[in-house]
Structure 1
């Protein structure tokens, strides 16, 4: 009887949060999928059922594949720099010779991730400016004028310029996650390895990496999912241009909904983004589970 009362009390406590999640998370997802089968406008009450028309249109839309390619590029580069470079930086900061300066470097690396993306976008727009930007000015000063570009105005370099800003802003966040995980590794493991004659490279590959396996997997999936939901930095810096060369799924959705007033098509794009991120999330759960079994 007591167990039943405890369970009932626990359910009452989680009921408000469950209702909020149901109303503000799951219900909008279901409604979004439902609305993707209709042609409708934000300024009209009438909706026309079109079935799979928008999904077929999306499959045949060449911009969709440009956006998907750019999101994938975001994901691959983010894994290399945010996860890979973040792990290396964290390992360096955990070295005994550097550890005394760790608070300073933690602050330096983490500050970009708490700056408003609007501020970051405007700042880097100025840095990338072809005439007065610091990047081209530095290249000219070093005698490398042939390397100067209109970084955001060139369809070849624009997407890489935007991706680079994202790495600058969020690599420090991954460094913090890895440092927190490293602090949980028993110091006795390192002391025992040193007694056995292991050097820093051996301890990194045989102690640090295996102990951080779960955090690496989680960090990779956080980064990949974030790459497929990216919007702010692209919209602020290029709005998907020049042409549609930096278009991502987020800006494509925004353009369909709030510029072209094709809310049904925008709902279709949002559904595809949801499916991609859901699949990546399930893949993450499977990886983390398999990691715990090892």
Structure 2
């Protein structure tokens, strides 16, 4: 009887949260799945059931696939810089013996992360400006004027320029999280490794990397999921141009719904985006759980 009352009390405590999650998370997901089967003109209010036609249109849509490719590219570069690069930098910062310099470097690296994405996008929009922006002027000053570009105005450089800005903006935050994980490693382990004659590179590979696996797994999941939810930086800097070369799934979803007035098609893109991020999260959780069992 007491066990039943405890369970009922626990359920009563979590019920408000379950209701909120159900209403504001799961119900919209199910409703969006229904919308993806419609041809829906939001302005006239007309709706026509078309089944899986929107998903067939996705398969034949070259902009959808190029947007997906841009998200994948964004994820690969983000993993390289915001996971592995940030881990290396965090280990270097924490290896400095001066605590004062550690605090200063953490603050320096974290400052870009404190800037909103919209402000950072506008800042780099000015930096990339071909005539007045400082980037081309710096290239000319150091004798590399042949590399001058209209960075956001050419199809081959627009997406790499956006990705570069986002790495600058998010690199410090990842470094700070890895620094916290490195700080949690007992110093005795490093001392023992040093007594065994292990050099700094081997200590990093055989001590630091294995002992921050949980943080690495978390950052991998967050980074990849975030790469497929990119929106603000693209909208601020290029709005998906030129000629849709910098479209990502989020911006193509927005353009399909609010510009092309095809909300059923936009709902189909949203469903695909949800499936991708859910699959990434479940795969990462499975890998993390398997590693814990192995430990």
| TM-score normalised by L of structure 2 | 0.97
- Tell me the distance in 1 between the aligned counterparts of 2:114 and 2:249: 24
Contact 2:113–2:172 (CA under 8 A) maintained in structure 1 = yes
Contact 1:93–1:99 (CA under 8 A) maintained in structure 2 = no
- Corresponding residue pairs, total: 294
The aligned runs of 1:68-217 (5 Å cut-off) are 68-97=68-97, 99-217=99-217
SS at match of 1:198: coil
Residue of structure 2 in register with 1:227 after alignment: 227
How far 1:156 moved relative to its partner? 0.5
Contact 2:240–2:248 (CA under 8 A) maintained in structure 1 = yes
Contact 2:96–2:102 (CA under 8 A) maintained in structure 1 = no
- Tell me the distance in 2 between the aligned counterparts of 1:12 and 1:136: 62
User: What 5-or-longer segments of structure 1 have no aligned partner?
Assistant: none
Q: In the alignment, does 2:67 pair up with 1:53?
A: no
- Tell me the distance in 2 between the aligned counterparts of 1:114 and 1:14: 33
User: What 5-or-longer segments of structure 2 have no aligned partner?
Assistant: none
How far 1:261 moved relative to its partner? 1.1
- CA deviation profile, 1:10-67 (whole Å, cap 9, x unmatched): 1111111110000000000000011100111223443210001100001000111110
SS at match of 1:39: strand
- Tell me the distance in 2 between the aligned counterparts of 1:293 and 1:176: 28
Moved more, 112-121 or 153-162: 112-121
Residue of structure 2 in register with 1:236 after alignment: 236
Contact 1:83–1:174 (CA under 8 A) maintained in structure 2 = yes
SS at match of 2:48: strand
Q: In the alignment, does 2:270 pair up with 1:276?
A: no
| TM-score normalised by L of structure 1 | 0.97
- Tell me the distance in 1 between the aligned counterparts of 2:16 and 2:87: 39
- Tell me the distance in 1 between the aligned counterparts of 2:261 and 2:184: 51
- Tell me the distance in 2 between the aligned counterparts of 1:107 and 1:210: 26
Contact 1:92–1:98 (CA under 8 A) maintained in structure 2 = no
- Tell me the distance in 1 between the aligned counterparts of 2:86 and 2:180: 12
Contact 2:249–2:269 (CA under 8 A) maintained in structure 1 = yes
